[in-house]
Structure 1
């Protein structure tokens, strides 16, 4: 475990709870360090990637939504970033986080692993141990503004600079809710009545939302590969072009076949499991897919059934898919349902011959418990994806 050392002056604390969040902190740090400006000719996005971000970036990569004089980016000085992993209990996620933590240490960053959910007393011990760092940090980077853990930590910090890095497609919903002044609720939970825990936690959530709103003494930056057309006044949007990933990995060896990317829409109660299995089977047969890259939240029972009934080789990646694909080998076609990867994979694989194809979610696949907003949100994820081939919803086999 990392020694409990205090942060240096002008330090940056980053809180992550998933491998993708940690990856995107590394991407952000790659662009925020002074050396990134010197190496810009090496890490600048290819033309196809820059076109991908025309809505989010201005000439020469200058971010949009920036009022002159309203935001002064603070460079990330070497050794000033500490990554705090608020470890979940899921073994798959923990394994990927361990691997990502190794990569972060190799980049020269300090990593502090917190067993934040290791028992009833763990949250109190974690928060108590982090309080001095939170109060001393100049800048806070977070990967999930919807996390209650993160929201609670935000009420402690005095940092004047806040950065939100991508936690997948949830970033799009966060920006929308922040702009409308709404309470922060994950998209697949919207439409339901708040539970008892939601009501008790409401003051903390409201406080976190205020801290994530830019003001005279606070700056807010969103570092994202998602298509963000508009942002609240004062929020700086910086485009993530996966320059760190492309500079460290690949280019990959490309195979002739197709690979299929799994989703946790069944586990979140949005899509019916039988309909999902039918769709995967049809996609695999139509496009000749042989491998199925499982989402880290997919259940073992579902994956076992999928392997038996479809004949697909189920692969549990030990790193985020963007890194797996960039390392290779990877299929010439990557098939996906609406998810974050339809936005990120074209960026990570820019300059290669890999094609990303996304399959729409048929409304008939949705469960009775799915949020009323589910179909519209998923359609928006697909419709806003660029550099991908769009497939119609597949029919049952």
Structure 2
């Protein structure tokens, strides 16, 4: 019988590869989040996947309101049996190096990485360090829609509200890392790398990306159902803070909505400035509420208005899911193009219209 010739070392290499993959699987899943909503969606994903060996890494931002909500969400994650690692990733000049150095060994071992913000420079840098073959992007709200479009078209990853398309000095300096992250988030053939997307947003996925729908099943099981009030609540946005909408026009729109629909409460976005909210309360008479958790959880815990009004934002897609079966209605108010500032991105008008137009199970209101 003729002898079969084998490539020298082939068996050893196959065995080493199998052992390496086994070690990565045993290392579990690393999830990187920078906002409370990202952490909420990681929890939704983890429960849908029954991912027990999950470590959530919080790359803590500076904003006090965001930090407060992240602390509360971290408590929830621990209550659900997951590990949480809080990193002061922006706590001084040496913080980034300390954070990256501390995370690198685990990044090298893990077989699956979950990220909440593919536009984050921090996340993009960390993606260049991982050898994970399984990458998952969980929802980061409306930014997810833009991410998928840019990935499918082979474009640079730039947030939709960035004026000038992200061509500043820091963007140029970081461009190689951003390009490497985009390549890492592009599916590879022969099973070398898989890319998943877990989202509640309406997206047309790029080829090769496996999309799973986030129905907020864990949120509905964990909280509520809420008690509904007879009144109307308004959900705030950070469109003024991001330079998209003029503050005077925004305040007038909120005042008009409150008067027309009898609203009594205004749930502030975590990024809304204290000065703007103080002026809003004084000029509209609305009770300003600073939520300590993402609005999907606040609404589900209740009490919440029978009608919830919002401008184009993530919540017009997520709240109908979180409040399904409760009898609460969600309505979205259009943004008048005249409200946009001179600093708004040329893409802003079309993007905001798309956010509104693709929302399901919501009532659409004209701009007041």
Q: Secondary structure at the match of 2:161?
A: helix
2:329 maps to 355
Alpha-carbon separation, structure 2, partners of 1:291 and 1:8: 47
Q: Given the alignment of the two structures, is residue 93 of structure 1 paired with residue 66 of structure 2, yes or no?
A: yes
Q: Mind listing any 5+ residue stretches in structure 1 that lack a counterpart?
A: 1-5, 34-75
Alpha-carbon separation, structure 2, partners of 1:132 and 1:320: 32
Q: 1:193 to 1:232 in 2, by over 3 A?
A: closer
2:199 maps to 224
Cα deviation, residue 8, structure 1: 7.2
Cα deviation, residue 191, structure 1: 4.0
Any idea what the Cα deviations from partners look like across 1:41-70, whole Å, max 9, x if unmatched? xxxxxxxxxxxxxxxxxxxxxxxxxxxxxx
1:57 maps to none
Alpha-carbon separation, structure 2, partners of 1:275 and 1:307: 15
Q: 1:148 to 1:193 in 2, by over 3 A?
A: closer
Alpha-carbon separation, structure 2, partners of 1:7 and 1:307: 52
1:373 maps to 347
Q: Which runs of 4+ in 1 moved over 6 A?
A: none
Contact 2:331-2:364 within 8 A present in 1 as well: yes
Q: What is the TM-score of this pair, normalised by structure 2?
A: 0.92
Any idea what the Cα deviations from partners look like across 1:249-288, whole Å, max 9, x if unmatched? 0000000000000000000000000000000000000000
Cα deviation, residue 175, structure 1: 0.2
Alpha-carbon separation, structure 2, partners of 1:120 and 1:283: 45
- Computing the radius of gyration from Cα coordinates, the structure with the larger value is 2
The 5-angstrom pairing of residues 121-136 of structure 1 reads 121-136=94-109
1:215 to 188, 191, 207: 188
Alpha-carbon separation, structure 1, partners of 2:298 and 2:313: 17
Q: Given the alignment of the two structures, is residue 273 of structure 1 paired with residue 290 of structure 2, yes or no?
A: no
Q: Mind listing any 5+ residue stretches in structure 2 that lack a counterpart?
A: 1-22
Contact 2:87-2:99 within 8 A present in 1 as well: yes
Q: Given the alignment of the two structures, is residue 261 of structure 1 paired with residue 244 of structure 2, yes or no?
A: no
1:26 to 43, 54, 76: 43
Alpha-carbon separation, structure 2, partners of 1:133 and 1:390: 47
Cα deviation, residue 10, structure 1: 4.4
Q: Secondary structure at the match of 2:131?
A: coil
2:12 maps to none
Any idea what the Cα deviations from partners look like across 1:311-343, whole Å, max 9, x if unmatched? 100000000000000000000000000000000
Q: Secondary structure at the match of 2:26?
A: coil
Considering only aligned residues, what root-mean-square deviation do their CA atoms show, in Å?
1.1
Contact 2:163-2:343 within 8 A present in 1 as well: no
Contact 2:158-2:165 within 8 A present in 1 as well: no
1:332 to 291, 302, 306: 306
1:289 maps to 263
Alpha-carbon separation, structure 1, partners of 2:120 and 2:310: 26
Contact 2:31-2:56 within 8 A present in 1 as well: yes
2:148 maps to 175
The 5-angstrom pairing of residues 1-397 of structure 1 reads 9-33=26-50, 76=51, 78=52, 80-189=53-162, 191-192=164-165, 194-216=167-189, 217-228=192-203, 230-394=204-368
Q: Secondary structure at the match of 1:241?
A: coil
1:3 maps to none
Cα deviation, residue 240, structure 1: 0.1
Q: What is the TM-score of this pair, normalised by structure 1?
A: 0.86
Contact 1:82-1:110 within 8 A present in 2 as well: yes
Q: Secondary structure at the match of 1:23?
A: helix
Q: Say how many residue pairs are matched.
A: 344
Contact 2:77-2:83 within 8 A present in 1 as well: yes
Cα deviation, residue 231, structure 1: 1.3
The structure showing larger relative contact order (alpha-carbon pairs under 8 Å, at least 6 residues apart) is 1
Contact 1:191-1:373 within 8 A present in 2 as well: no
Cα deviation, residue 205, structure 1: 0.1
Cα deviation, residue 215, structure 1: 0.7
